[in-house]
Amino acid sequence: MHQVTPTRTFMGGLDHNDDLLAALTKICQNENIKLGKVEAIGAVKKAALGYYNQDKKEYSYFTIDRHLEILNLTGNISIKDGKPFVHAHVTLADDQGNSFGGHLIPGTIIFACEAIVQAFDGPEFKREVEPVTGLPLWE
Amino acid sequence: MHQVTPTRTFMGGLDHNDDLLAALTKICQNENIKLGKVEAIGAVKKAALGYYNQDKKEYSYFTIDRHLEILNLTGNISIKDGKPFVHAHVTLADDQGNSFGGHLIPGTIIFACEAIVQAFDGPEFKREVEPVTGLPLWE
Amino acid sequence: MHQVTPTRTFMGGLDHNDDLLAALTKICQNENIKLGKVEAIGAVKKAALGYYNQDKKEYSYFTIDRHLEILNLTGNISIKDGKPFVHAHVTLADDQGNSFGGHLIPGTIIFACEAIVQAFDGPEFKREVEPVTGLPLWE
């Protein structure tokens, strides 16, 4: 664990019909956030998610083509391939309250979303593939 | 997105048998919090939740009349109808670990709940009905 | 609710194959954190969880012996039996996105986990068994 220093905090609504992961990434680019965290609630028109297969060391992807509440989005911001990268997981729910979730990937479309992004100062957090897990983890 | 400034932070347990949403709203009223965020874990005696029907542009409501863990409550605080308003989503779990959730409404009764509330300074975040979604979003 | 003051913030990856609750507790011990909060996402090799039976006033425990995503871990840090104690709830998901969760107990094994821990200054938060709920709540 590394000590970091919270600096700027941003709060607001994301745009209807935008891609959720792209919208969060764009905030980081616009505000020059290289380290930080994000949280959100809201609703999506459909979801695209990943599950990491720990044996095969690869993600499998699936979509849920339904209107869902975002019960929670939790993510962190760091550097991957030289650019700000949002790693976020989402918990969703359908009209019966049944819940679903996974690793957020492009293709999750915002109906409405209220996010809080907090930027940190600190050492460089850079993602590189780590051989034991096969995941792009912090060095 | 608007920049905001975290100011005061509060942590504590909520009262057994209180309504969860009312208890969170009361903290905002007592502490004069008009902008901020809230998170919590705990357990409820029963849950009352909403799901927003994106086609009909109206909430449907349902109750889960069982004892459930609060896996996560994530919410934000802003102004609606001139008063502090807590918009929160909850993720819950039953005795088998199956999880459920939705938009928190009155009728969710606290068994035990540990909350952290953070107040922000910033521009006024006021909710007004937004025509495309039909939701009371920030202007 | 008591006012607290955020002080130090830590961010980083937890070790592969470590026990998740023990790893979080160790951070608190190493950094001398007696009050605070924690959040995390990641994946586990298997999960050990609790559900509090509100009638019997005792936890029942269960394990999910599958590889699961951590959609969200939300927890707080306070003092129990004179030592830093992490109270955390986790939301998990399987390869179909179905989600599960509960009160985190020892036996949940990390595949990969990215955590943010925030220390607070404030009054002493000490857990003592509270008779109405039977839970170790803050006095």
Number of helices (H) and strands (E) in chain C: give both, helices first. 1, 9
What's the rounded mean pLDDT across residues B12-20? 98
Structure tokens at A88: 């976020």
Which residues in chain B are closer than 8 Å to C132, comparing Cβ atoms?
Answer: 16
Among the listed residues A74, C1, A6, the one whose alpha carbon sits nearest the alpha carbon of residue B9: C1
Say if the Cβ atoms of A11 and B2 lie within 8 Å: yes
Say if the Cβ atoms of B11 and C103 lie within 8 Å: no
Please write the tens of the pLDDT for every residue from B21-70.
Answer: 999 999 999 999 999 999 999 999 999 999 999 999 999 999 999 999 99
Nearest-angstrom CA–CA distance, C113 and C36: 19
Which residues in chain C are closer than 8 Å to B117, comparing Cβ atoms?
Answer: 1
Write down how long chain B is.
139
Over 90: is that where the pLDDT of B90 sits?
Answer: yes
Pairing of strands A68-80, A126-129: parallel
pLDDT at C139: 86
pLDDT over 70 percentage in chain A:
100
Residues of chain A with pLDDT under 50: none
Q: Please name the chains neighbouring B, where neighbouring means 3+ C-beta pairs under 8 angstroms.
A: A, C
Q: What is the CB-side half-sphere exposure of residue C110 using CA atoms within 13 A?
A: 21
Structure tokens at B75: 């919410």
Nearest-angstrom CA–CA distance, A20 and A39: 12
Specify the CATH number of the domain B7-122. 3.30.1330.80
Instruction: Show Cβ contacts of residue A30 under 8 Å, excluding neighbours closer than 6 positions.
Output: none
Among the listed residues A15, A22, A1, A2, the one whose alpha carbon sits nearest the alpha carbon of residue A84: A22
DSSP SS3 for C30: helix
| B24 lies within 8 A of chain C by CB | no
| A138 lies within 8 A of chain C by CB | yes
Structure tokens at A19: 């891609």
pLDDT at A139: 86
What's the rounded mean pLDDT across residues B74-86? 98
Entry pTM: 0.98
Q: Is the Cβ–Cβ distance between A118 and A6 less than 8 Å?
A: yes
Which backbone phi and psi does A83 adopt, to 5 degrees? -125, 155
- DSSP designation for A15: P
- DSSP designation for C15: P
Say if the Cβ atoms of C52 and B39 lie within 8 Å: no
Instruction: Show Cβ contacts of residue A1 under 8 Å, excluding neighbours closer than 6 positions.
Output: C10, C11, C12, C27, C31, C115, C117
Say if the Cβ atoms of B55 and A67 lie within 8 Å: yes
CA distance B6 to chain C (A): 10
The ipTM (two decimal places) reads 0.98
| A76 lies within 8 A of chain B by CB | no
Helix H or strand E segment including A113: strand A109-121
Q: Is the Cβ–Cβ distance between C26 and C47 less than 8 Å?
A: no
pLDDT at A6: 98
Residue in the block written with tokens 């507790």: C25
- DSSP designation for B135: S
Helix H or strand E segment including B25: helix B20-30
| C112 lies within 8 A of chain A by CB | yes
Residue in the block written with tokens 């039977």: C134
Average pLDDT score over chain B: 98
Pairing of strands B99-104, A2-14: unpaired
Residue in the block written with tokens 């993600």: A59
pLDDT at C28: 98
A107 backbone φψ class: left, alpha, beta (φ>0; ψ -120 to 50): left
| B132 lies within 8 A of chain A by CB | yes
Of B1, B101, B120, the CB nearest to A71: B101
Structure tokens at C13: 């990856």
pLDDT at B139: 86
Which residues in chain B are closer than 8 Å to A28, comparing Cβ atoms?
Answer: none
Please write the tens of the pLDDT for every residue from A39-51.
Answer: 999 999 999 999 9
Structure tokens at A111: 């109906």
Nearest-angstrom CA–CA distance, B100 and B109: 16
Nearest-angstrom CA–CA distance, C39 and C73: 5
pLDDT in tens, chain C (139 residues): 999 999 999 999 999 999 999 999 999 999 999 999 999 999 999 999 999 999 999 999 999 999 999 999 999 999 999 999 999 999 999 999 999 999 999 999 999 999 999 999 999 999 999 999 999 999 8
